[in-house]
């Protein structure tokens, strides 16, 4: 008699990607399937639209999580906080100077509604954040900005990596306090060890997996780095 085929375990979280702002930044709504409590990761703008998306999915917003302090990722945070009162967690405190510049940057780039804010909790490498009955690990990945963090759910093999890594590319490092080598080290020493099967939402563009990028990414594939 053949043994029964094991059934895959249901994932503890689900995610919805909602591109926002003229820069089409991937704001991610992620939620605990058991409790239907949600976090919005990187609300760059369009807070009313994000609130409508929560309602459509039957979700209760519990947290706002920020990967880094750039305008397109964090410009709508203050407005969302004003609407909901939920705590803001992240990024790492080294990005405080970027958050302080959001209001001025918004005026410059035609997003006058963008406002600066103060997180309720700054995050450090190795911290965890909770969402309903799920836990996400916080990984400090500097390079694009000095205080950039990644949110990783180990059980679901899912990460929101902001502007650290993209399908076929990596984050820019020509902004103030950016550092190319720090970015490469963060990707190869902190993200790759999590496993090739980890699927990730980047700050812009389509999802990918760490394994796919190790095979094909022209900046950080194994073959490219072996040739350095």
Check whether 91 has a pLDDT greater than 90. Answer: yes
Q: What is the pLDDT of residues 191-218, one digit of tens each?
A: 999 999 999 999 999 999 999 999 999 9
Q: What is the pLDDT of residues 162-190, one digit of tens each?
A: 999 999 999 999 999 999 999 999 999 99
pLDDT at site 111: 85
pLDDT at site 139: 98
Q: What is the pLDDT of residues 139-156, one digit of tens each?
A: 999 999 999 999 999 999
Sign for the pseudo-dihedral over CA of 203, 208, 212, 218: negative
pLDDT tier for residue 1 given thresholds of 50, 70 and 90? very low
Q: pTM here? A: 0.94
- Domain ranges in the chain are 13-226
Q: What is the pLDDT of residues 97-134, one digit of tens each?
A: 999 999 999 888 888 889 999 999 999 999 999 999 99
> What value does the mean pLDDT take over residues 2-20?
78
What dotted CATH number matches 13-226? Answer: 3.60.15.10
Check whether 2 has a pLDDT greater than 60. Answer: no
At a CB cut-off of 8 Å and minimum separation 6, what does 182 contact?
A: 142, 143, 173
pLDDT at site 109: 83
Determine whether 209 is exposed, middle or buried from the number of CB atoms within 10 Å of its CB (0-12, 13-18, 19+): middle
pLDDT at site 3: 54
């Amino acid at each position: 008699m053949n043994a029964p085929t094991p059934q895959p375990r249901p994932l503890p979280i689900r995610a919805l990607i909602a591109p926002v702002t003229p820069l089409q930044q991937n704001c991610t709504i992620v939620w605990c399937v058991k409790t239907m409590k949600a976090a919005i990761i990187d609300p760059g703008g369009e807070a009313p639209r994000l609130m409508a998306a929560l309602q459509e999915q039957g979700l209760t917003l519990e947290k706002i999580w920020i990967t880094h302090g750039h305008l397109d990722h964090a410009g709508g945070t203050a407005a969302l906080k004003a609407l909901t009162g939920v705590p803001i967690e992240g990024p790492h405190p080294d990005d405080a100077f970027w958050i302080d510049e959001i209001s001025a940057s918004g005026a410059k780039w035609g997003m006058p509604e963008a406002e600066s804010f103060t997180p309720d909790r700054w995050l450090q490498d190795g911290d965890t954040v909770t969402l309903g009955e799920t836990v996400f690990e916080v990984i400090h990945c500097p390079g694009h900005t000095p205080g950039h963090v990644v949110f990783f759910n180990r059980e679901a093999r899912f990460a929101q990596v902001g502007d650290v890594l993209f399908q076929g590319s990596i984050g820019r490092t020509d902004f103030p306090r950016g550092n190319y080598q720090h970015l490469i080290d963060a990707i190869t020493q902190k993200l790759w060890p999590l496993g090739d099967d980890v699927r990730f939402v980047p700050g812009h563009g389509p999802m990918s997996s760490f394994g796919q990028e190790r095979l094909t990414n022209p900046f950080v594939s194994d073959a490219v780095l072996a040739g350095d």
